[in-house]
Amino acid sequence: MFGVRLLIALLIVLTVIACIHTGSYTVLGSLTIEQEDTTPPTITSTLANNSYFRGGRLDVYFYITDNESGLSLVQVYFDGALYISDGLNGEQSYTVSLLGLLLGYLSEGMHNYTVIARDVAGNIARLERIFYVDRTRPTGMIIEPAPETLHTGIITIRFNYTDNLSPLTAILRVCGDEFNVTDLYSYDVDTRKYPDGELEISLYIEDRAGNSYTISRTIMIDNTPPIFQLISPSNETICTGILTLEYNIDDPHLDETWMEIDNVWRNVTGQTTIDIDTTIYEDAYYWIAFKLNDTLGNTAVLRIIIGIDNTPPQIQVLSPINNTMITMEIK
């Protein structure tokens, strides 16, 4: 028996080899493979999660697919209540269109759509899309600097802002420059890049829904030292007796003026002319220094040089010698 079975098996193998070799093999029957569907449907949405809206119409699409056993049920819940329930017959894709939701009729705050999809094999998928209706503008304030105050150099601007429910974008505007200060509550600004005078500071805040608020204030800045202009005498003049210095000083916030000659300082605040008795000095060239500052600490130092000469010219008669008889010869 064993020999017969082996012979039959050998014949079958030879036949198969022959059929394959001649290319004339015959398909004897079809084979069905039962695939098990263990994958839940896929759900996507045109609505981004955690979206914010002020109002208007909301159109949302949900796309549901299942490429294995196909879909058997799609349900949509709005704010927890069943809104749509569609029984299906194994479709591989299905679209839920939620068009024309009037947001003006919704209360402010959080809302959500939840889609649940089941395939024929019983796998369940779930997708939630949260959105917010926000009609309330944010509030904010600039804490420092105080309005109309005077500043110089680098200043720290302090501010605060809040919203009923949305994260905020915060923009600080200074004289046409914009700084994104989102999530910051203070910001240093170098005022030296702006012209002296009024400087406008604005804080613009906007919630995710697009409600915005702006608060502004004006401060004064002065980054310029006092300007000194000598009128007379001109630099390097030789002086005698009383020397009158005349000059102009320009600064909107001038504080003190000091003058130094021969290592002695004197406060000349408020003066624009100074008389100097040069006879108390020895003849020589002298530096005269002016030191000026404004109330913000901007300081200027200027020097002029003058010569002092209080000694008259010396006359020495070399000839004739004093008390000598001069004889004139008359021809």
Strand partners, 170: 205
Least distance CB 60 / Ca ion (angstroms): 22
Read off the tokens for 328: 């004139």
Return the closest-CA partner of residue 153 out of 189, 195, 187, 186.
189
CA 11 – CA 33 distance, rounded (Å): 29
**Least separation in angstroms between CB 213 and Ca ion:** 9
Bond before 320 cis per omega within 30 degrees: yes
Residue 298 C-beta: closest distance to Ca ion, Å: 5
Q: CA 208, CA 228: separation in Å to the nearest integer?
A: 54
Question: Would you say 45 or 224 has its CB closer to Ca ion?
Answer: 224
Minimum Å distance from CB 286 to Ca ion? 28
Q: Whose Cβ is closer to Ca ion: residue 69's or residue 278's?
A: 69
Sequence-ordered list of residues with C-beta below 8 angstroms from that of 200, at least 6 positions apart, any chain: 173, 174, 175, 216, 217, 218
Whole-number Å distance between alpha carbons of 240 and 98: 99
Residue 278 or 298: which CB sits closer to Ca ion? 298
Q: Which is nearer to Ca ion, 131 or 286 (CB)?
A: 131
- Residue 117: closest CA among 162, 64, 169, 163: 64
If the CB atoms of residues 36 and 188 are measured against Ca ion, the closer one turns out to be 36
| CB 124 to Ca ion: min, Å | 10
Q: How far is the CB of 165 from Ca ion (least distance, A)?
A: 6
Handedness of CA 240, 267, 236, 248 (dihedral sign): negative
DSSP class per residue in 172-240 = EEETTEEEE-TT-SEEEEEGGGS-SEEEEEEEEEEETTS-EEEEEEEEEE---PPEEEEEESPTT-EE-
Q: How far is Cα 162 from Cα 211, in angstroms, rounded to an integer?
A: 12
Query: What's the min distance (Å) between Cβ of 191 and Ca ion?
Result: 12
Unique residue bearing structure tokens 């005022």: 191
Phi and psi for 91 in degrees, rounded to 5? -60, 145
Q: How many residues does the chain have?
A: 331
Residue 157 vs 294, nearer CB to Ca ion? 294
Cα 259 to the center of its chain, rounded Å = 45
Beta carbon nearer to Ca ion, 68 or 91: 68
* Of residues 136 and 160, the one with the C-beta less far from Ca ion: 136
Nearest approach in angstroms of CB 226 to Ca ion is: 6
CB of residue 188 to Ca ion, shortest distance in Å: 21
**Which of 98, 119 has the CB closer to Ca ion?**
119
Binding site for Ca ion (CB under 5 A): 37, 39, 66, 68, 119, 123, 134, 136, 163-164, 166, 207, 211, 222, 224, 251, 294, 298
